[in-house]
């Protein structure tokens, strides 16, 4: 399996088909990141595809000493922000089961499944109540499982700011969850 950097280098030297490996590697993460902005499945798919296309066109500007996904995430975020600005929509992220990360193991009994689904619904409602900056940093850390360094690169902020923002975003999320549980 080739590294991201090896794939980019191969693309630059003419092997355009290998780019599909990067798309396959990151398409799910890109979709969920776009869903945070787009608020619906179809737009999230379109936006993530557009970002992959733009990233491909800009591969010459990618520094192979850096992390590909954090570089790609900046492109994706800009595509999404432009979309939101154009559409000026502020719909809630759908709480459909298909659009939420799976939180239940296959061995759970029906009561556990129901309880987990209810908790997931409350969590997503609380996440949707947060300001965009808080929502973004929580999703990057908790759902995209990015490191502090990767988040810092993706958001172009110092790593200390990532930790501070995440700390306060988690506190606000906890307040929202507690409020919804009252």
**For residue 54, what pLDDT is reported?**
95
On whether the CB atoms of residues 143 and 101 are closer than 8 A, the answer is yes
Whose tokens are 């991201």? That residue is 4
**For residue 162, what pLDDT is reported?**
92
Write out pLDDT tens, residues 89-119. 334 444 443 444 444 445 556 666 666 677 7
**For residue 113, what pLDDT is reported?**
64
Q: Choose the final residue of a domain: 36, 71, 91.
A: 91
178/125 Cα distance (integer angstroms): 11
Length of the chain: 182
Distance of CA 64 to the CA centre of its chain: 22
Write out pLDDT tens, residues 42-57. 999 999 999 999 999 9
Which regions of the chain are under pLDDT 70?
Answer: 87-116
Q: Is the dihedral of CA 126, 31, 10, 60 positive or negative?
A: negative
**For residue 109, what pLDDT is reported?**
60
**For residue 104, what pLDDT is reported?**
47
**For residue 110, what pLDDT is reported?**
65
Q: Choose the final residue of a domain: 32, 67, 91.
A: 91
Helices 110-129 and 159-181 meet at what angle, rounded to 10? Answer: 120
Q: Which two tokens stand for residue 45?
A: 């798919």
Domain that holds residue 18: 1-91
67/79 Cα distance (integer angstroms): 19
61 and 137 share a domain? no
């Amino acid at each position: 399996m080739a590294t991201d950097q090896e794939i980019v280098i191969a693309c630059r030297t003419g092997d355009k088909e290998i780019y599909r490996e990067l798309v396959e590697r990151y398409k799910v993460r890109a979709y969920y990141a776009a869903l945070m902005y787009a608020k619906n499945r179809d737009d999230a798919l379109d936006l993530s595809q557009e970002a992959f296309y733009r990233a491909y066109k800009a591969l010459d500007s990618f520094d192979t000493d850096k992390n590909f996904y954090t570089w790609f995430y900046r492109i994706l975020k800009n595509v999404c922000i432009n979309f939101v600005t154009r559409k000026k929509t502020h719909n809630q992220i759908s709480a459909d089961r298909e659009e939420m990360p799976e939180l239940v193991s296959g061995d759970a009994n029906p009561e556990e499944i129901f309880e987990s689904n209810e908790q997931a619904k409350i969590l997503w409602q609380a996440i949707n109540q947060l300001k965009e900056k808080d929502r973004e940093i929580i999703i990057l850390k908790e759902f995209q499982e990015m490191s502090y360094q990767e988040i810092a690169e993706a958001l172009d902020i110092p790593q200390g700011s990532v930790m501070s923002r995440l700390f306060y975003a988690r506190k606000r999320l906890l307040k929202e969850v507690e409020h919804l549980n009252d």
